[in-house]
């Protein structure tokens, strides 16, 4: 009987879909990541046809070692994430193994957290909460400009996006509700390369959102943005995209928000920029090296930086939708059918 390996319980809804799939299920019964050995041992089973794996679980990193361990009938590895930076997709495809992921269903949830980080960073919420919790409120009594931050409805606001896919666009729709209607913000974005029909693409975006939207190069998103939002996928071209050079290009009054992957922003350079007032503040849902980010980390210690533990897609409905897509990809893949969402590189 063909089998599907599930490296973590994915919630009752998706587990019931798996249970009625007709496959034998090998489920990690612990409420913790399994060991790497457990994963490799089960993948080697000649009856294993597919696996549901988790982003952020070290046991599930899809590298040469894991691919070499796969038995002859493994046809699909399905990740419970839209991002696939933990997967060597090319090497998997070369072995005839499809990679499934969960695009689309988490756009709204990640956009919600991105907007939250924009507002928290602009209004200096990390500083405010820290001083209240440290019992320092009375030492900084009310005054007209105490604990203030830059205005999101400022009349000449520019919002820059690094990557302008679905999540950036969902973020923009939300942000427009906070910005000035009489003086709408200007939107800049950068993406891997300009297309020959770039002008009409930007015109279509501008019409869709009712504001001026333009693709520019890296330097201009940095120099002109009052709010710079990182929402691109991680690949060799985007690692360290925001580095010291980028941060020194940014306005001293600008904020940076990263809800993509930690390595797109160089942590040391960002800590330096915050410390030296090169930028106003930062909001991060992701940090290089996560989850091993200690309380001593300079970004965690900075009152100019909000750090969240990668909760972008973390609302219950979204996680259930991701779980369903993850298991349906695995079931289809195990049957040798087209996946609902396959990673193509």
Catalytic residue ranges: 310
Residues that bind ligand DGY (CB under 6 A): 55-56, 81-83, 106, 312-313
Where residue 23 falls (left for φ over 0; alpha for ψ -120 to 50; beta otherwise) is beta
> Based on CB atoms, which residue is closest to ligand DGY, 215 or 319?
319
Question: How crowded is residue 214: how many other Cβ atoms within 10 Å of its Cβ?
Answer: 15
Residue with Cβ nearer ligand DGY (49 or 82): 82
Task: Indicate the residue among 281 and 312 with the shorter CB distance to ligand DGY.
Answer: 312
Q: Please answer whether residues 226 and 150 qualify as being in contact, where contact means their C-beta atoms are separated by less than 8 angstroms.
A: yes
CB of 57 to ligand DGY, least distance (A): 10
Nearest approach, Cβ of residue 106 and ligand DGY (Å): 6
Cα distances (Å, whole numbers) of residue 166 to 74, 110, 187, 269, 343:
31, 10, 15, 28, 16
Q: Cβ contacts of residue 321 below 8 Å, gap of 6+?
A: 102, 105, 106
Q: Considering beta carbons, is residue 83 or 283 the nearer one to ligand DGY?
A: 83
Neighbours of 332 (CB within 10 A): 22
CB of 143 to ligand DGY, least distance (A): 40
- Least gap, CB of 28 to ligand DGY (angstroms): 18
Q: How far is the CB of 316 from ligand DGY (least distance, A)?
A: 15
Say if CB 100 and CB 278 are below 8 A apart.
no
H helix runs in 179-292, sequence order: 198-209, 218-224, 244-249, 267-275
Toward ligand DGY, which CB reaches closer, 188 or 326? 326
């Amino acid at each position: 009987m063909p089998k599907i390996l599930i490296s973590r319980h994915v919630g009752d809804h998706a587990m019931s879909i798996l249970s009625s799939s007709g496959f034998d299920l090998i489920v990690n019964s612990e409420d913790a990541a399994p060991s790497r050995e457990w994963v490799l041992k089960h993948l080697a089973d000649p009856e294993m046809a597919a696996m549901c794996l988790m982003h952020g679980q070290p046991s599930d990193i899809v590298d040469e070692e894991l691919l070499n361990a796969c038995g002859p009938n493994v046809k699909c590895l399905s990740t419970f994430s839209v991002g696939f930076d933990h997967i060597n997709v090319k090497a998997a495809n070369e072995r005839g193994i499809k990679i499934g992921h969960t695009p689309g269903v988490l756009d709204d949830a990640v956009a919600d957290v991105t907007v939250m980080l924009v507002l928290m960073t602009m209004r200096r919420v990390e500083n405010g909460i820290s001083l209240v919790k440290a019992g320092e409120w009375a030492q900084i009594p009310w005054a007209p400009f105490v604990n203030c931050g830059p205005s999101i409805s400022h009349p000449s606001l520019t919002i820059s996006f690094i990557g302008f896919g679905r999540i950036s666009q969902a973020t923009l729709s939300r942000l427009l509700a906070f910005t000035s209607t009489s003086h709408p913000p200007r939107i800049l974005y950068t993406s891997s390369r300009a297309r020959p029909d770039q002008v009409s693409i930007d015109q279509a975006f501008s019409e869709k959102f009712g504001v001026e939207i333009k693709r520019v190069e890296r330097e201009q998103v940095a120099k002109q943005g009052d709010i710079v939002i990182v929402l691109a996928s991680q690949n060799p071209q985007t690692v360290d995209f925001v580095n010291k050079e980028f941060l020194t290009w940014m306005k001293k009054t600008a904020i940076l928000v990263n809800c993509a992957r930690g390595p797109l922003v160089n942590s040391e350079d960002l800590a330096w920029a915050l410390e030296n007032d090169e930028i106003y503040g930062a909001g991060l849902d992701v940090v290089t090296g996560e989850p091993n980010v200690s309380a001593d980390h300079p970004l965690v210690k900075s009152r100019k930086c909000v750090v969240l533990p990668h909760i972008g897609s973390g609302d219950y409905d979204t996680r259930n939708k991701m779980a369903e897509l993850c298991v349906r990809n695995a079931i289809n893949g195990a049957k040798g059918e087209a996946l609902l969402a396959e990673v193509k590189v």
